[in-house]
Structure 1
Amino acid sequence: MTAEHAQDQPELWLFGYGSLIWKPPPHFDQRIPGYIKGYVRRFWQDHRGTPEAPGRVVTLIERGFWKTLGDTQNPPENDLVWGVAYHIIPEKVEEVREYLDIREINGYSIQYTPFVPAEEGIPEQTCLVYIGMPDNPQFLGALQPQVVAEKINESIGPSGENREYLLQLDEALQTLSPDSHDEHISDLARRVRSMTPPTRSTHHRRLSKTGLQRVSSTEEQEEVEKTA
């Protein structure tokens, strides 16, 4: 389905595979665990923290292209990426799209993909999904897992520690389905849990260097974080 055709549809389904799993968008009336096919999820997007201490967030890579990147980590057993589909209340679609364009700016592009619900009997949907395409400036390519884990552990932005993003994603994925395990995420989480977290003083020093302040609302956090 083309983007133009999907945008003409009266309803919006949104697929979340990162922070959207545990930090949902506003104005949804259905939340359905499930998966999309043909992608590999990797922490290869430079998209969190501060300019002096950029962190890492997940993006999706088309599996055929991913095979050309020389990833040293064991390949996924299949091409399923588990996450959550949200149905947005129709009269709030425009408002939610504006919110998401702020939340997912700085490297992410809108794509559309079929979504398969985990529960049998629920129909498949075409979902909007934000993906950091390989040609965006924040895409870093194949990285060694230990290097990624160390960067995640040390990076602190205005909305908190980058390690929190990883650990929350790891925990959230385990709640979706008995089959929703992602070894890339779990491996990084194991590595980070074995490291010493950044100290509070380190956190304050980094924020003060950039002039950024911790903010309270989800919208403010995401907007500051993505434009840092």
Structure 2
Amino acid sequence: MADITFTDGGEYWVFGYGSLIWKPPPHFDRRVPGYVTGYVRRFWQASEDHRGTPEAPGRVVTLIERSFWETLPDWHPSGSDKVWGTAYRIEAAKVQEVQKYLDIREINGYTIHYTPFHPADGTSDIKTLVYIGTPENEQFMGPQEPQVLAEHIYRSIGPSGLNRDYLLSLETALNGLSPDSGDGHITELANRVREISKRAKDAKVGSGQVSEMAIVHDFRKNGVTNDQEETKK
């Protein structure tokens, strides 16, 4: 387990920019919407443990330092320097427990970093811990053409469920934080996935193809359930 770093006031905060926004860590006593700067959020991290499998990894979000991201080819511009999410203050007596829990849950390529967090209400910045899949980790996929990425997300599934549910839940959670908290990368992928889903449903009408729910049922029947839901980022 990594060393724990507290704020100057002796508090311990965790920043969530993915599913932590709608699936909080345990034992928090404050939840604060806001943003960090200097990063770009992208669906460039493979998921072998929650939204995919080792044989067919899904995709989840990570943060990329903006200075590095600017050196990469990317189909999605990022006009805002703000990456919105939620900061959670962990109860003092539960810090060690929560740290251990998150370390176990984030083993698939993520490492601990610290960054200033800016609360949406304009109060003082908070030093937060954040899990990031850096470009050096073997699960980092890098840039991908948006339609190819959307199709990959659409068809991927893992112990925590459909990869596309992660994407669509993230879009909803982000839009609920602030009038300014939407993410263009997330929204475009979500729109593409909805269009893929619509086309797939239209094509199945009268075709006799196996339904999506049958596929999910078969996946879970073979020993994979959503009881292991991730506490991702």
TM-score by length of 1: 0.88
1:153-176 per-position Cα deviation (integer Å, ceiling 9, x unaligned):
001112211100000000000011
Alpha-carbon distance in structure 2 between the residues aligned to 1:155 and 1:79: 30
Residue in 1 aligned with 2:230? 222
Q: Say yes or no: does 1:113 pair with 2:115.
A: yes
Which ranges of structure 1 fall in alignment gaps of 5 or more residues? none
Which ranges of structure 2 fall in alignment gaps of 5 or more residues? 201-210
Residue in 2 aligned with 1:149? 150
Residue in 2 aligned with 1:66? 69
Alpha-carbon distance in structure 2 between the residues aligned to 1:212 and 1:101: 24
Letter in 2 for 1:214: T
Please list, as runs of the form range in 1=range in 2, the aligned pairs for 1:32-43 lying within 5 A after superposition: 32-43=32-43
Give me the CA root mean square deviation. 2.1
Higher alpha-carbon deviation: 77-86 or 195-204: 195-204
Is contact 2:111-2:132 (8 Å) kept? yes
Alpha-carbon distance in structure 2 between the residues aligned to 1:212 and 1:124: 44
Letter in 2 for 1:201: A
CA shift, 1:202, in A, is 1.9
Letter in 2 for 1:38: G
Alpha-carbon distance in structure 2 between the residues aligned to 1:50 and 1:200: 18
Matched residue count:
215
Residue in 1 aligned with 2:129? 128
SS in 2 for 1:195: helix
Residue in 1 aligned with 2:206? none
CA shift, 1:215, in A, is 4.1
CA shift, 1:5, in A, is 8.3
Residue in 2 aligned with 1:100? 102
Residues 123 and 153 of structure 1, relative CA distance in 2, 3 Å threshold? same
Alpha-carbon distance in structure 2 between the residues aligned to 1:42 and 1:135: 15
Is contact 1:37-1:79 (8 Å) kept? yes
Letter in 2 for 1:89: E
TM-score by length of 2: 0.86
CA shift, 1:72, in A, is 2.0
Which protein is bigger by CA-based radius of gyration?
2
Is contact 1:102-1:222 (8 Å) kept? no
Report percent identity of matched pairs.
58
Letter in 1 for 2:57: P
Alpha-carbon distance in structure 2 between the residues aligned to 1:17 and 1:105: 17
1:126-145 per-position Cα deviation (integer Å, ceiling 9, x unaligned):
00000000000000011111
Residue in 2 aligned with 1:200? 213
Letter in 2 for 1:12: Y
SS in 2 for 1:6: coil
Alpha-carbon distance in structure 2 between the residues aligned to 1:136 and 1:29: 32
Residues 86 and 8 of structure 1, relative CA distance in 2, 3 Å threshold? closer
